[in-house]
Amino acid sequence: MASYCTQDARALELLEELKPQYRLGLITNVPSNLSRDFVLDILSKTGLMPFFGHILVSSEMEFNKPDPRIFEIMLQILKSKPEETIMVEYNCHRYLRGKSNRNEDSTTST
């Protein structure tokens, strides 16, 4: 496995539990010089690819996290409402700050 790929057994366990019950999407910020193929390669090498039905890659868009538009697009793709959605984020404080500035409710788990 490449040096940039690490596998976390806890993440795999969580995804295995969530996948049968929920629609899962992934939003990732990557530098503009990296492509969707780079992201898909990482997901494949770490065994995470099968869990996500939809993947948004910021380098393909005009904005990235924490811009609310990227989350709104994912909500539309997943046909979900904010109050029905859980965000799982490794850097939750950064994104919670953004949501609280917009006076929205947020549920986040790390």
Instruction: Report d(CA 109, CA 58) in Å as an integer.
Output: 22
pTM of the predicted model over 0.85: no
Q: Give me the residue label for tokens 């997901």.
A: 43
pLDDT in the model for residue 93: 60
* pLDDT of the chain, 110 residues: tens digit per residue: 555 667 778 888 999 999 999 999 999 998 888 889 999 998 998 889 999 999 999 989 999 888 999 999 999 999 999 999 988 876 656 555 544 444 444 443 33
H or E stretch at 37? helix 36-46
Pair of tokens at residue 85: 């959605």
pLDDT of amino acid 49: 93
The predicted pLDDT at position 3 comes to: 58
| Domains identified in the chain and CATH numbers | 9-84 (3.40.50.1000)
Other Cβ atoms within 10 Å of 93 Cβ, number: 9
What's the rounded Cα separation, in Å, for the pair 41 and 36?
A: 8
